[in-house]
Amino acid sequence: MKSGSIVFLSLGALAAAAPQVTLTPLSGPIPPVRSSEVTGPTSHGPFSGTPTVTGALSRPATAMSIAPAGSPVVTYTNDNGDLQATYMPVPYQPAGGQGLNGTTPYYHPLSDFDYESLTLALYQEWIELDLFHNGLARFSVQDFEAAGLTAEDRFLIEFMADQEVGHATLLSNILGPAAPPQCTYNYPYNTVREFIDFCQKLTRFGESGVYGFLGHLDSRESATLLLQSISTEARQQLIFRQFDGLFPMPVWFEVGVPQSFAWTLLAPYISSCPANTTRLAWQNFPSLTILNQPNPAKTNPNLGTPQPATGSNPLNSSGIADSNRCIHASGESSDCGPAISQNRSIPLSYPGRPIHLSWGNVNQTVGPNNSYVTSRSPLADAPRYAMFLSQLNATYVPLLNISGNTASVIQPNMSTFAGDPAVNGTIFISVVSQNPYVTPFNVSMVLPYVWAGPSLYQAG
């Protein structure tokens, strides 16, 4: 007998005896458009072949940048706290809101913007599914225990991988038949600590990449479902910070970044995708390397040879003096083992810290099958500023000592509200040619001026 009919019969029988049982769904679960079990690859490593197609999906552009268009027409204000409308649609429902007039929700993209944004999110969910499994498979129980992670912690990582099955299924169903499948990946970590730090960084740009477009989607229905999965991803990011011995949430607000920032950070870790995988329209900017990335595996991040990190590459657990290794350091504020919360005796970064940068070139191949190409707009005519994108803020700091593909910049002292330092946690730095004033809902206006990056900066 088919399992579908078992569900039907048992629910039917229960209904008579126990009326509280909800009689749905009668037909059993709807299979996902893409199943991770069917497409899941087993190999990892770099791609060494020739791409069959190159470049982002595109159509002729009608302009090189979006012109500022002034303020919107605002038809509602409320200064007295009372209801402003004469009527309510139904009792207890204030007038207004979208999607509340009885129209059946339509949980699918309504524009190319929606489709490309949700497809990028699916590329992200697939790598997370593979990554969490890969870390568990690659390292031994002894390796994990040496990094302070127990069997229960490993089960949590496994559970997070399972969550990704759900997220990938959800997005595949939203996108429909051309939803991209899982790809093959190439990871930059060699130790458990580096794996955990990479997860902490990858989930940061996964989460922030979605916040950057969520409020801009045409499909509010899709946005609602996506937020319900990205809220879970936000918790994953926090848990990986805890496993990494970092203060779990050193910010008051989580930053949102444009899709091309997320894609620039994600693409280098996808080595190849199956033939005919749906491609993306987002830009791959030239890479950005932070030559002196603060290292959370050190007690004093200011000691020892500065360690570089490109894009989202993790901390480097080699080349640290034993006396400066914080994982098993004694003293409550010096140790950095996994914990619910960790105070660091010496913060990872500080306002006034010199940050040294180097960047890659245009026309370099990246991403699946090396089939995407780095580029920048002609409006990005020279490297002039570092943009620090964190919390609610985008702050531009002039570059110093620009020489060839390198420059330096001083970490700014800026706050969100009430003195809360805006530069903390895992943040985004890009090199840009202009410094347009942008706020969380129009941050994409900076894209024509991006020279390189972003790279993730481990500010705290």
Ligand X SMILES: *[C@@H]1O[C@H](CO)[C@@H](O)[C@H](O)[C@H]1NC(C)=O
Binding of ligand X at residue 68 (CB under 6 A)? yes
Q: Give the residue among 156, 145, 450 at the shortest CA–CA distance from 327.
A: 145
Helices vs strands, H then E, count in the chain: 8, 13
Binding of ligand X at residue 32 (CB under 6 A)? no
Q: Which is closer to ligand X, CB of 191 or CB of 229?
A: 191
Choosing from 169, 313, 374, 455, the residue that interacts with ligand X (CB under 6 A) is 313
Q: Which is closer to ligand X, CB of 45 or CB of 68?
A: 68
| Alpha carbon distance 139, 187 (integer Å) | 13
Choosing from 49, 96, 306, 398, the residue that interacts with ligand X (CB under 6 A) is 49
Q: Restricting to residues 391-420, name those near ligand X by CB under 6 A.
A: 392-393, 395, 400-401, 408, 410, 413-417, 419
Place of tokens 């914990």: 339
x-or-dash pattern for ligand X, window 244-263, by CB under 6 A? ---x--x-------------
Phi-psi region at 39: left, alpha or beta (left = phi > 0; alpha = psi -120 to 50) = alpha
How far, CA to CA in Å, does 218 sit from each of 114, 115, 247, 281? Answer: 6, 10, 36, 17
Min dist CB 4 to ligand X, Å, is 29
Binding of ligand X at residue 460 (CB under 6 A)? yes
Binding of ligand X at residue 383 (CB under 6 A)? no
How far, CA to CA in Å, does 302 sit from each of 292, 317, 319? Answer: 9, 15, 14
Residue 439 exposure: Cα atoms within 13 Å on the Cβ side? 2
Amino acid at 23: L
By CB under 6 A, how many residues form the interface with ligand X?
62
In this structure, the number of other CB atoms found within 10 A of the CB of residue 93 comes to 10
In this structure, the number of other CB atoms found within 10 A of the CB of residue 110 comes to 14
Q: Are 126 and 185 in contact (CB under 8 A)?
A: no
Binding of ligand X at residue 211 (CB under 6 A)? no
Q: Which is closer to ligand X, CB of 118 or CB of 447?
A: 447
Residues β-bridged to residue 288: 359
Binding of ligand X at residue 445 (CB under 6 A)? yes
Choosing from 314, 367, 453, 454, the residue that interacts with ligand X (CB under 6 A) is 314
Q: Which is closer to ligand X, CB of 173 or CB of 364?
A: 364
| Alpha carbon distance 290, 430 (integer Å) | 10
Binding of ligand X at residue 430 (CB under 6 A)? no
Binding of ligand X at residue 424 (CB under 6 A)? yes
List phi, psi (to 5°) of 145.
-70, -35
The residues that touch ligand X, with contacts defined as CB under 6 A, are 49, 51-53, 68, 101-103, 188-190, 194, 247, 250, 272-276, 313-314, 316, 318-319, 332-333, 343, 347, 349-352, 354, 362-363, 369, 371, 392-393, 395, 400-401, 408, 410, 413-417, 419, 421-424, 436-439, 442, 445, 459-460
